[in-house]
């Protein structure tokens, strides 16, 4: 069998290679991380692009079994941030030179919701010159809605597949018409066909998820030719069925290590994509996001949600940055990125190079 060093020199990894890399112990993982760091430097550079994250509503019609803001969880106070407060947050991002914003929420399919998002996107896209990048993360929608949002000025969309294993998908979602694996796949395809920079991702360390599942997820993201990826550890959220009914065999540190290896392998395999340093990494390790930037990630999403609402957008337990203000997050982010030796790409859109290459061909 080839050595890890030899394996890392291969042009492409097959499933067995990926499994072997995901199984590396802490000491051997260093070789993997060195390789992904080198690939990152060569293909996307050592710049970190900022996306101001606004969690504008925690009202959700879905009941994903892992999520703290699922419809059936009555322990949250539901909120919908007023348009003018969302726009002030966007203005803050612009003044802070963030270059782009992400509007994220629970999933609603009502005409009122889709029209509201459309109007917000229109206002944001015409408010600044040069235009800010606008990413949406509002779940599965129909073609007409995705298309209207695109025309309004949204250029990017994040929709994690969560797991590409259909059986596991139905273990972490209710089996009903609202939670349909095929529809999630179709949504990703629609977004790509409409010309969005399309991002997906998974949770690592889900109950019953195997290393082989994660290897398949990595191959799935490559096959679907995604422009951006967000990978985070699964973290229990109390009051959710998944947290109550499953004892997770992996502890949080093991999930963290696995998530880090997953993004490193992705960076080596999908060299020019954007990879986010996910917030969930920081809830396990205080410098989790810095570690992700160090080895593979090039996107950081400072939270600019008005502070009063943050404690109600608890997707999982121990979510970090819920008491800080947008400006506190700003100085923290700068310090964190400086620690990694990477450079903050102020005022830059940070368009996925993979997307640019995909469009040029
Ligand atoms: N409603 C939208 C966006 C908000 S949820 C959607 O579902 O796409 C954003 C992401 O949070 C989800 O894709 C999921 O991967 C992550 N998330 C939710 N609950 C989580 C948990 N318990 N642990 C880790 N990540 C979680
Ligand atoms: Fe709603 Fe998204 Fe949470 Fe599912 S993951 S319950 S769609 S907010």
The pLDDT tens digits for 253-282 are 999 999 999 999 999 999 999 999 999 999
pTM of this prediction?
A: 0.97
User: Does the CB atom of residue 160 touch ligand 1 within 6 A?
Assistant: yes
User: Does the CB atom of residue 62 touch ligand 1 within 6 A?
Assistant: no
CA of 31 to the centre of ligand 1 (A): 31
CA of 315 to the centre of ligand 1 (A): 6
Six-digit token pair at 199? Answer: 């991002």
User: Does the CB atom of residue 333 touch ligand 1 within 6 A?
Assistant: no
Q: Could you give the residue ranges of the DSSP H alpha helices within the chain?
A: 4-8, 15-22, 26-43, 83-95, 111-127, 143-152, 166-172, 181-193, 211-223, 241-245, 252-269, 279-284, 288-295, 307-310, 326-340, 353-360
Q: What is the pLDDT of residue 304?
A: 94
Question: Among 55, 61, 63, 69, which is best to mutate for testing ligand 2, by the most ligand atoms less than 8 A from CB?
Answer: 69
CA of 65 to the centre of ligand 2 (A): 9
User: In which residue ranges of the chain is pLDDT below 70?
Assistant: none
Pairing between β-strand 52-57 and β-strand 47-50 as defined by DSSP bridges:
unpaired
Q: What is the pLDDT of residue 247?
A: 87
CA of 85 to the centre of ligand 2 (A): 23
User: Does the CB atom of residue 101 touch ligand 1 within 6 A?
Assistant: no
Q: What is the pLDDT of residue 330?
A: 81
């Amino acid at each position: 069998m080839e050595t890890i060093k030899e394996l890392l020199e291969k042009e492409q990894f097959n499933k067995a290679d990926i499994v072997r890399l995901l199984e590396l112990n802490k000491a051997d993982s260093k070789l993997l991380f060195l390789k992904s760091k080198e690939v990152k430097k060569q293909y996307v550079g050592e710049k970190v692009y900022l996306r101001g994250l606004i969690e504008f509503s925690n009202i959700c019609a879905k009941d994903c079994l892992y999520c703290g803001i699922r419809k059936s969880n009555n322990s949250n106070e539901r909120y919908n941030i007023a348009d003018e407060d969302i726009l002030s947050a966007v203005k803050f991002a612009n003044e802070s030179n963030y270059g782009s914003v992400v509007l994220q929420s629970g999933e609603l399919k009502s005409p009122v919701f889709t029209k509201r998002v459309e109007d917000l996107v229109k206002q944001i896209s015409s408010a600044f010159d040069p235009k800010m990048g606008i990413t949406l993360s509002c779940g599965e929608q129909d073609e007409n809605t995705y298309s209207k949002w695109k025309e309004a000025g949204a250029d990017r969309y994040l929709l994690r597949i969560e797991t590409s294993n259909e059986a596991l998908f139905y273990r972490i979602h209710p089996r009903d018409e609202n939670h349909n694996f095929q529809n999630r796949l179709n949504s990703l395809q629609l977004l790509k066909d409409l010309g969005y920079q399309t991002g997906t991702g998974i949770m690592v360390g889900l109950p019953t998820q195997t290393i082989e599942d994660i290897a398949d997820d990595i191959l799935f993201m490559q096959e679907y030719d995604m422009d951006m990826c967000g990978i985070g550890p699964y973290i229990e959220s109390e009051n959710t069925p998944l947290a109550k009914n499953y004892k997770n065999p992996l502890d949080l540190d093991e999930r963290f290590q696995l998530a880090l290896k997953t993004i490193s392998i992705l960076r080596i395999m999908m060299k020019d994509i954007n990879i986010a340093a996910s917030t969930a990494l920081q809830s396990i390790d205080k410098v989790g996001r810095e570690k992700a930037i160090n080895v593979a990630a090039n996107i950081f999403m400072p939270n600019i949600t008005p502070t009063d609402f943050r404690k109600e957008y608890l997707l999982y337990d121990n979510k970090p940055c819920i008491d800080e203000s947008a400006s506190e997050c700003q100085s923290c982010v700068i310090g964190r990125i400086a620690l990694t030796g990477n450079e903050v790409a102020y005022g830059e859109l940070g368009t996925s190079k993979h997307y640019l290459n995909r469009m040029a061909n």
